[in-house]
A and B are shown apart, each in its own frame.
Chain A
């Protein structure tokens, strides 16, 4: 039976964007915290910690997100840990985000000139104080554009979790298309919703970047 692409179908597609948003936020929160730790380990003075972080980054970046997803969904259920699809999706996207954000932020920390380390060391700041008051505040400014670039990728990449049955935006579009056979309309709506999520993020980033530079260039 072929259905019309009416308001209830439209609402179904649009409202399923909440899962896209939720997954993005979860991945960003958990992956952000983990990624921050990874970035700090990556620039640690202890070589084994650096290797550990490099290994994690290499692993996450070297494996397709899809494999992370399968591992946390099917792999863990084999190990007796039956995760609901949404949880497995959140975990795998968090790992994915941690690897990329960790590497992005490592670069930002390292692009703070070494003289800033030296000047703050000469003022007797401890290593933790150097990070807290001198290096990280400068690294954050540098981090805004690449981090936002990654968030936009992340929003779009959440679509991959439709494979294990999470009905987020892409999956909802797929389901409605199967029922209505109106791919142009359906997927234009889906694309538009993705755009409405990603575009404001880019705008906010540009605004943030400008605001952060206000004080400096004068």
Chain B
């Protein structure tokens, strides 16, 4: 059963058409990597998937919620779809635990105890159980990013979206975040991740999608796609090894 179904989605910023008719499906438990050059529309696609950007045409169905150009039902969709950004965007005025507890409490109406339990559980999942009383300012980049992941997980989403979550990190810190992502994938989470970590995509993602100029240019099982790219654009992209 498809958890994510994208049909002919068009998205423009003013006169600039960024998504030019994107269609894709993601099955439950699938891990899909999205790769492509800077400006090809990867972030835009993710942001459209949980309604942070309205679309002009097409249809998006995520976890049973439908989004169209009217933008109705956004909040219900977002309860089921987590997104983590390159910049972690923790709430600086709240301790780590409170960062995680906020949305379960005010959005889902969890009791304090229930929210706290979720915070403890998700922090343990990202390997930061001992940081529950820490302030965001006192975390390393890798730790902050893992807290951001825990914060999303505490909503118990059906799908997780990751937009270059390791790009702002020093190389020695990317490993811990990638390990967290891999753990999530093994636990059966449905995930879409935009990444420049090609080795990681190849190893962890079931499927990889190559975006080019606002379209899905090529897609396939990761191993096949990386070892035998079909289109010249993808070959060039992989050969260049550039961002």
Residue B82 CB within 8 A of the other chain = yes
Residue A62 CB within 8 A of the other chain = no
Contacts between chains A and B (CB distance < 8 A), count: 63
Please report the C-alpha to C-alpha distance between residue A126 and residue B78 in the assembled complex, in whole angstroms: 11
Check A123–B135 contact: CB distance below 8 A: no
Give chain B nearest CB distance to A133 CB in angstroms. 6
Residue B210 CB within 8 A of the other chain = no
Give chain A nearest CB distance to B153 CB in angstroms. 11
Give chain A nearest CB distance to B165 CB in angstroms. 13
Residues of B within 8 A of A134 (CB): 91, 102
Query: Which of B52, B106, B135, B148 contacts A125 (CB under 8 A)?
Result: B106
Closest to A213 in B: B137
Give chain A nearest CB distance to B122 CB in angstroms. 13
Which residues of A in the span 127-148 have a Cβ within 8 Å of any Cβ on B? 129, 133-134, 137-138, 141
Residue B243 CB within 8 A of the other chain = no
Residue A78 CB within 8 A of the other chain = no
Give chain A nearest CB distance to B26 CB in angstroms. 18
Check A125–B103 contact: CB distance below 8 A: yes
Decide yes or no: A217 and B91 within 8 Å by CB, A121-B52, A122-B83, A129-B107 being known contacts: no
Check B107–A123 contact: CB distance below 8 A: yes
Query: Which of B103, B137, B138 contacts A123 (CB under 8 A)?
Result: B103
Check A216–B135 contact: CB distance below 8 A: yes
Which residues of B in the span 110-157 have a Cβ within 8 Å of any Cβ on A? 135, 137-138, 148, 151-152, 155
Decide yes or no: A124 and B107 within 8 Å by CB, A118-B52, A215-B135, A216-B135 being known contacts: yes
Check A137–B93 contact: CB distance below 8 A: yes
Check A124–B155 contact: CB distance below 8 A: yes
Which residues of A in the span 98-126 have a Cβ within 8 Å of any Cβ on B? 115-116, 118-126
Please report the C-alpha to C-alpha distance between residue A116 and residue B148 in the assembled complex, in whole angstroms: 12
Closest to B79 in A: A124
Residues of A within 8 A of B103 (CB): 120, 123-125
Give chain A nearest CB distance to B63 CB in angstroms. 12
Residue B89 CB within 8 A of the other chain = yes
Check B78–A138 contact: CB distance below 8 A: no
Residue B75 CB within 8 A of the other chain = yes
Chain A 197-218 interface mask (CB, 8 Å, partner B; 1/0): 0000000000000000001111
Check A115–B87 contact: CB distance below 8 A: yes
Please report the C-alpha to C-alpha distance between residue A182 and residue B87 in the assembled complex, in whole angstroms: 65
Query: Which of A118, A120, A121, A123 contacts B152 (CB under 8 A)?
Result: A123
Contact sample, A vs B, 25 pairs, CB 8 Å cutoff: A115-B85, A115-B87, A115-B89, A116-B89, A119-B89, A120-B91, A121-B52, A122-B50, A122-B82, A123-B103, A123-B107, A123-B155, A124-B75, A124-B79, A124-B155, A129-B106, A129-B107, A133-B102, A138-B92, A141-B93, A216-B135, A216-B137, A218-B135, A218-B137, A218-B138
The chain B residues found within 8 Å of chain A, CB to CB, are: 50, 52, 75-76, 78-79, 82-83, 85, 87, 89-93, 95, 102-103, 106-107, 135, 137-138, 148, 151-152, 155
